[in-house]
Structures are given as C-alpha cells and as structure tokens.
Structure 1
C-alpha cells in the first residue's frame, strides 16, 4: 500500500497543490460554474485583492492576497477557480495546507484535535484550525442517494446497535416512562445521554446516526431506510429490533445480559462485534483527541469516524487514497462560518 510522503510537493508547494486539486476537480478540463462550458477557458492573471477587517480590540487589519488558479470562460466571460462551490471557497488558507490537513485527518485513525491541527499546520489562530476541521468533516459526510447495506455482494449481514455518549444539553428529571430519576440525572445506561445508532455491514461499510431519542420508532425508520430487505439483521436482545427484524431475510440476536457475545449456527456466526468495535474506536478516539463537543456538532464528528471506517485498508484505501476520496467530496459542500453554530445534529 502506498502512503503519502509528508515531503511531497503537494504539501509544501502552492503551485503543485493547485495543479493537483484542479486535476481532481476537473478531470476532463475546467467547467464554468455559470454556463457549464467544459474545457473552453483560459487562465488569467488575477489582480491583488485587499480586505479590511475589524478586530475585537477595535483596531483594523488589512489583508492583501492574489487569487490563484483564475480561469475565464470563453463562452460567458465568467471568471472562476477550482474552489468555487467547494469547502475551499473564499478561504485564504493556502491550498498546500488544505491538502496537508486533509491528509492528517484521514491518516489519524482516532482523530486529531483542533489544538494539534493548529500546532502542526502553523495557523495564526485556533479558530482557523477549528473551522477548517469542520469544513473537512462536512466533506466527509454522506450525501444524496446511497446503496443500502447488506445487498448483493456484501455477505448479506448487517449488525445494528446503539450506544450513548456524552450528556445531553438539556437533561430531564424524568425517565421516558415518566418516573423521576432516583439518583443522578445521567447515571448508568441511556439516561440523559446522547443516543447514537450504528449499522455495520459485515466486512463492509458503516452508517452512523445521532438521534434525539433511540426509541423503537426512530431506530426502525433508520433500519428500514438503510438496510436491504434481503439482508439478515444481527442485534443484541434490545426490544428495539424484533418487530422491524421480521421485515428482512432473517433476524438473529445474541443475549449480552447472559454473557453471550457470539454463537455459531451452521456456517454463520451471530454477533454484533463489528458494531461494538466501531463504538469502541469512536469512544477511545474521542476521549483521547476531542474530549468534548457540543451536541449540535456530534453528527459531524460521527461523519469523520464513519468516513475513515468506510475507507479503511481492508476496503482497499491507504492514507493517500483516503485523502483523495475526501478531496473529491469537497464539491457542493459550501460551509460558511455561521453554519457550524447553527448545525443540527
């Protein structure tokens, strides 16, 4: 497997970085975002641009820069760059640092904090690193129509499980049955904790969701929308799955309360170890790298772990291929500074 060399010009030379991204964005030649003309543009020399910003202490700061990679469409005369309509649009961060950042987040199995990102890439502020990571996580998230899990060629087994991680922002004093908590508002189990549901295709991909409440209705909807009817569902003894399990080719469960974690029935091994393994990786990585996040951002962090899991070595992706897969997802993922604050989990 080939791994990215940190001394590669893509990570140190701005011209090489732009050429690489333009090739990924436009494999068949530049595409005008206004009229859609393909490979009918010329490169132009852009003028220097100045922007004055007011700082918190009341002073002003003028930033001067020159746009790179500017193209002019011969059909409509529109000027554009490869970053239009991507997570890189209107960013003053050099492209070679974006490529390095994409490599680092893809190569860090358990994630990387914004503080470490800030130190390694030498940004002027922690806020820049934090927002950059959110843009990359936005690109990692699945969008649009995707193939259901457990279909043809996947082995036909999908593991479903749920876990609880971190306290909710507004804890309740009552259980879901209306009884008042006797002790702490967030003790053992799911009480007042953030619910996460995972579907793991045996030997394949994962889909992970943060839900307000992991009740039967929400879990059944997730399973129906994301699992092929021809698949066999493997779960623990939770009451969330027996009814929806009847809609699939089969439903098998293990009884964790009786310390049963796997059993063999003919050629099939019944377990939820893949889902448990994903949760273990997420929780260990989160505790070591991120420690805490607001609940409204949790879905983006889950997208990060899901993306790396779905592009792991077992599925044919090394660090370089994983970073390339991330860069190809940057189109149509525009994210402004206000949006992370309004993100919905």
Structure 2
C-alpha cells in the first residue's frame, strides 16, 4: 500500500494523533506550563460559525491542561502553529519533500496539495527549517577521512557580473564537508572562498585527528598544520584520483554536488542568497538520512516531525538570513 494512502495523510483527526505520537510520545505536554501527562482531551469543540462554515469547524486534537487551565494542541510551538493548512496536508508535504531526492518545487506542491503558491512556498521553508542540524559532532573523529570542496550557485546580488572577472565571481559560494566514515555531509554558505574565511570553518567542523582531502586550491595549502594529514588531487592536470594513493580524492563530495546542482537547477531553478542556507540544509538532510545510511522515506519524515517543536518560522523571518 502506498504511504500516501495512510489514514493520517487524509484524515485530520488521525493526522493529529500521528503528530502527537511523534512529538509527545504517550502523554500530552502542555506548551504553556510544561506539565506532562496532566491534560484532558476536549471532544466536539467547534470554532465560531461563519459564512463559510455556518456550524463552525471541528477543532481536532484540542487539549486542556489541568495545571494552568489553558487549551492547546500539538501545533503549539511547532512549525504548524497558526497555519490554516490542514495538518494532514502538512504530512503529505513533508513526505513528498523528504522522499524526493532532488527536491520538489513549491509550484508542484501548490498543485498537488490544492493550496496557494504563496502558502506552498512558506510551507516548504518551514519544513526546511526542521531539516537544519547544527549539532553535528566534528567530522573525522578517530582519524577518519573528510573530503572538502566548494561550489558556486545562483547569483550574488552583492557581486554584480563584471567583464573579465572569473566565471564564478558573481555567484554564491558554498563549502561542503563529507565524512567518509559516517557518510554525512555538512554544507555552509560562505561569503567568499579565501583562506581566512574557509580555514576557521574547517577547524570548527573537523576533528584535529582527521585526514583531509581537497583539490589543489591555494586556500587549502597548509591544512596539514591543523589536522593529522592533508592530501590533494590536481584537477587542473586531469588528476581526480591519485594513482599511488587511491584513497586521495574528492569524488564523494563531488557526487553530493551533482545531486545538489541537479536539484537547484532542474527543480528549484532560482534561489536567492538569503534562502540558500535552507536549501543546503534540505540536501544535507536527505543525504545524511538516505537509504545507504539505513533510513527510509517514512523514517526520514519521522525525523522531520520530531524536529518541528521550537522551529517555528514566521513569514517575515523566512526572508532573513540565519547562521
């Protein structure tokens, strides 16, 4: 049976029960006072009558805390808070985003879910916010290998295209690290690819005992001073794997970029610099939680749901850059 045929994907009451189980577990948690397991479920409560709904709409998943006497639902404090989109449509959107290897556009979601494009755009950014993971341990622990590379995407509004400048000078820069042992990636949007910009990021995100592999770019010239070892391949000479040391290459991170760029160019097509960090987080999330790491689509969707609390993103915030 298709995952999208599951009851919680179509029934609002079942959707609330599913999200409650993922976020709360066995007992409700009051978002107002933090009390656990001391709330009663309110059945049959409806909203005020309106022209569109003369009898009012049923309020699914409504609870009342016995401690602070306040009402709440599982939406409170999550990315679903104050959203007029039914919860079961949120669950469909989450599944479609986590199961699409190269992403799914807001235009596609607005057609599939039957919501406005503006709502679909905002919905996808809220979901991407849940995919961000800033708590990764330093890569390359226990002497593991870490591949490092940078790429360029889109157009940086602060760097207009100039005649005679390098082909990437006007584009947004992104640095990506891939840990070969854990098969995880971390992408960081950077202002430039100069040594004084990149090296501090590498020091912060890579363990000192790690072995680092890069290409021959000058900004990586003295990484052996900061890590256990550093080696590189000379792409300008057509060398992508060292013959005498076949473990020296950046093909893994290049493979990550192939997926990232196919998605950004083929699906999303355009992305402003202020949003690039969320798109990068989306591709990192799917890469880090892929089948090769033992995580299927449903488990991936569950990881997003578990991260929805405390990640609320307002519409005005969605246009600002967050570190």
TM bin, normalised by shorter chain, reads over 0.9
Which of residues 84, 101, 110 in structure 2 aligns to 1:109? 101
Kindly indicate whether residue 115 of structure 2 is the aligned counterpart of residue 136 of structure 1: no
Aligned pairs (5 A) from 1:24-35: 24-35=22-33
Residue 83 of structure 2 corresponds to which residue in structure 1? 91
> Post-superposition shift, 1:4?
5.6
Larger helix proportion, structure 1 or 2? 2
Q: 1:289 aligns with which of 254, 263, 267?
A: 267
- Within 5 A, what are the aligned runs for 1:1-345? 5-45=3-43, 46-49=45-48, 65-123=57-115, 125-143=116-134, 145-152=135-142, 156-172=144-160, 182-183=163-164, 187-188=166-167, 190-203=168-181, 204-263=183-242, 265=244, 269-344=247-322
Cα distance per residue 1:156-194 (max 9 Å; x no partner): 000010111111113257xxxxxxx553x5x52x31211
Aligned residues: 320
Structure 1: gaps spanning 5 or more residues? 53-60, 174-180
Aligned partners of 1:28 and 1:38 also within 8 Å: no
Report SS of the residue matched to 1:271.
coil
In structure 2, C-alpha distance between the alignment counterparts of 1:324 and 1:98, rounded to whole Å: 13
CA contact (8 A) 1:4 1:319 kept: no
In 2, distance between residues paired with 1:224 and 1:340?
29
SS class of match (1:263): coil
Stretches (4+) displaced over 3 A: 49-52, 61-67
CA separation of 1:217 and 1:80: change in aligned 2, threshold 3 A: same
More strand by share: 1
* CA shift for structure 1 position 297: 0.7
Q: Distance in 2 between matches of 1:332 and 1:225?
A: 25
**What secondary structure sits across from 1:167 in the alignment?**
coil
Contact 2:12 2:60 in 1 (8 A): no
The change in CA–CA distance for 1:308 and 1:220 in structure 2 (over 3 A counts) is same
Q: Does the CA-based 8 Å contact 1:159-1:199 persist in structure 2?
A: yes
Shift of 1:51: 9.0
Pairwise CA RMSD of aligned residues? Answer: 2.2
CA-to-aligned-CA distance 1:121-173 (integer Å, 9 cap, x gap): 111x1111111111111111114x33111114xx7000010111111113257
What is the DSSP-based 3-state SS (H/G/I as helix, E as strand, rest coil) of the residue aligned with 1:262? coil
TM norm structure 1: 0.87
For residues 269 and 244 of structure 1, what CA distance do their matches in structure 2 show? 17
CA shift, 1:65, in A, is 4.2
Please report how far the alpha carbon of residue 92 of structure 1 lies from its aligned counterpart in structure 2 after TM superposition: 1.3
Asked if the contact 1:163–1:195 (Cα under 8 Å) also holds between the matched residues in 2, the reply is yes
* 1:240-263 Cα distance to aligned partner (Å, 9 max, x none): 122233211111111111111012
